[in-house]
Amino acid sequence: MENNNLIQSFVITSDPQYPWTPCSDSSSSPTCPEDADTKRRRSEELIREQYQNINSYTDTVSNASVLINGDITAYGHNSPWSPEQQWDKMRDLLRILKKPYYFGLGNHDIENNKGQCAFDSCFRASMQRYINHVKSHNLPSSQFDFKSDFISGMGSSTTIESGSFGYAVDFGHIYSIQLNNFPTMKSESLVIGYTVRMFENLNWLEEQLRIARAAGKIIIVNVHKPDSWAGGPNQRFKNLLKDYGVAAVFCGHYHFNCGDYTNNSSYSQYFGDIPVFLSGSASQRTYLILEHHFETEFNSKLNIYSVRSNNWRERTLEKSIVIPVSVPGVFKIVTTLNNSGALHKMPDNNVVLWEKNYPGASVHQKWEIVYDLSKKAYQIKYNQESNLVLAWNVPDAHNVFATPNQQKEEHYWILEYLEEEDSYIIKNKRDPKYVLDVDGGYAGNGTNIKVELQHDLNSPYIKAQKFKLERA
């Protein structure tokens, strides 16, 4: 396993759903039919196998946590008269995990069982176990959308617990938000002495997203159901994910689905164009691994893997998500043709190549590289006049110059990192097929800088389109 530059890792699972088995998923499973005792034993074996395989992986990394996206139980049963104490059993099975774990609730925990057990005991058992679990992590109160009120009078008293019950965990570089079954869920349980009120609170979610974005965190969102929410998709929720640059959404619910479902037409109605990953289930022996790797000072990378047959050593890379960042400081943009010629602004604002150590030239070669989340691209700002940005001089066919910043598409650039040479292809956002280029591949002083169609990476001309970013 390649762990170079690994910052942090997460194992992302869902649907242990004790006592669920492959036979519960499909009556055509070769394990069918099965009696109740066999079902309990088989479910426990599958969950144990998965959690032990997770431990085998997390033993190899120094900074790991486990996220479990709902359906912890099959029905929330835990009363003495229930067929089995599902929450007690899951409490014991979760203790197998060696690393800290953070779970949410799914439809089997708090939706399918609503009003179906005496005194609503199944729903209440799920909520009470969940609230205690979140409290056990000692999160700042603002990161758990939960309030508890005790009301007494007239010879009686009641506890009212309310909120969306979402919670957020700051893992350092990554900010993880757990939204349980689905973020717009509403439910209420009224029993003598104890009331639970669950309601949508997108204001709380937006505040968490705002805080995380302002702190430069990578944001991931966890939801149990990727579609089929009561009330359907929510446009404000979709807008929040986009506006605050959520990196990925992780879901469960569909036991046979594990991997990258970004282009699923149903799920995109709920999450827009945010990457979506499903983790399958314990019954189908699948889960996900997320690894956060440092790549360059301008970006890091999230690698998301699927694991099947509870065998993390044979995992499959589903997607790599590049996470760009703004880096404070001033840089020279140096061609790899000779590693000494730098982008140089002339008095008429044209941009040419000039020897970076040439006397008096350095002041004209300093650029700030600033990431714009809304554009998903960088602006390259001239350090001496911050309103001037490097731009493709549209409608000129190819020329590049420094011009007053008007936030046009041609004023933005996309950095593509080439690890082999520690260099970049710098693509123009207006048309990313066009990239920064040294005219004619000649590295002499005064050579014009332009945009040109990108050459193949194996072409001898590609060096004219590769640049290093050196701190000035």
pLDDT in 10s for each residue of the chain, 472 residues: 456 689 999 999 999 999 999 999 998 888 899 999 999 999 999 999 999 999 999 999 999 999 999 999 999 999 888 889 999 999 999 999 999 999 999 999 999 999 989 999 999 999 999 999 999 999 999 999 999 999 887 768 899 999 999 999 999 999 999 999 999 999 999 988 889 999 999 999 999 999 999 999 999 999 999 999 999 999 999 999 999 999 999 999 999 999 999 999 999 999 999 999 999 999 999 999 999 999 888 999 999 999 999 999 999 999 999 999 888 899 999 999 999 999 999 999 999 999 999 998 889 999 999 999 889 999 999 999 989 999 999 977 899 999 999 999 999 999 999 988 899 999 999 999 999 999 999 999 999 999 999 999 999 999 999 999 999 9
Of 324, 343, 364, the one marking the end of a domain is 324
> Same domain for 376 and 433?
yes
Per-residue confidence (pLDDT) for residue 66, from 0 to 100: 99
Per-residue confidence (pLDDT) for residue 1, from 0 to 100: 45
Beta-ladder partners of 277: 250, 260
> Same domain for 170 and 304?
yes
Q: What is the CATH number of the domain that holds 383?
A: 2.80.10.50
Question: Around 78, how many Cα atoms within 13 Å sit in the side-chain half-sphere?
Answer: 21
Where in the sequence is the domain holding 59, given as residue range(s)? Answer: 6-137+166-186+209-324
The answer to the question of residue 407 being in a domain is yes
The total number of structural domains that make up the chain: 2
> Same domain for 313 and 337?
no
Instruction: Tell me how many degrees the CA angle 146-151-153 measures, rounded to the nearest 5.
Output: 175
> Same domain for 394 and 309?
no
3-state secondary structure 105-166: CCHHHHCCCCCCCHHHHHHHHHHHHHHHHHHHCCCCHHHECCEEEEEEECCEEEEEEEECCC
> Same domain for 124 and 238?
yes
Per-residue confidence (pLDDT) for residue 2, from 0 to 100: 52
The answer to the question of residue 200 being in a domain is no
Of 299, 324, 349, the one marking the end of a domain is 324
The answer to the question of residue 142 being in a domain is no
> Same domain for 259 and 376?
no
Best CA proximity match to 343, nearest among 460, 436, 434: 436
> Same domain for 317 and 466?
no
> Same domain for 103 and 243?
yes
3-state secondary structure the chain: CCCCCEEEEEEEECCCCECCCHHHHCCCCCCCCCCHHHHHHHHHHHHHHHHHHHHHHHCCCCCEEEEEECCCECCCCCCCCCCCCHHHHHHHHHCCCCCCEEEECCHHHHCCCCCCCHHHHHHHHHHHHHHHHHHHCCCCHHHECCEEEEEEECCEEEEEEEECCCEEEECCCEEEEECCCCCCCCEEEEECCEEEEECCCHHHHHHHHHHHHHCCCEEEEECCCCCCCCCCCCHHHHHHHHHCCCCEEEECCCCCCEEECCCCHHHHHHHCCCCEEEECCCCCCCEEEEEEEEEECCEEEEEEEEECCCCHHHCEEEEEEEEECCCCCCEEEEECCCCCEEEEECCCCEEEEEECCCCCCHHHHCEEEEEECCCCEEEEEECCCCCEEEEECCCCCCEEEEEECCCCHHHCEEEEEECCCCEEEEEECCCCCEEEEEHHHCCCCCCEEEEEECCCCCCCCHHHHCEEEEEC
Per-residue confidence (pLDDT) for residue 82, from 0 to 100: 82
Q: From CA 67, how far away is CA 278, in angstroms rounded?
A: 12
CA-to-CA dists, residue 13 to 106, 251, 358, angstroms: 12, 9, 57
Of 262, 297, 324, the one marking the end of a domain is 324
Question: Around 193, how many Cα atoms within 13 Å sit in the side-chain half-sphere?
Answer: 5
pTM exceeds 0.75, yes or no: yes
The answer to the question of residue 397 being in a domain is yes
> Same domain for 260 and 356?
no
Q: From CA 94, how far away is CA 71, in angstroms rounded?
A: 13
Q: What is the CATH number of the domain that holds 13?
A: 3.60.21.10
The answer to the question of residue 234 being in a domain is yes
> Same domain for 376 and 398?
yes
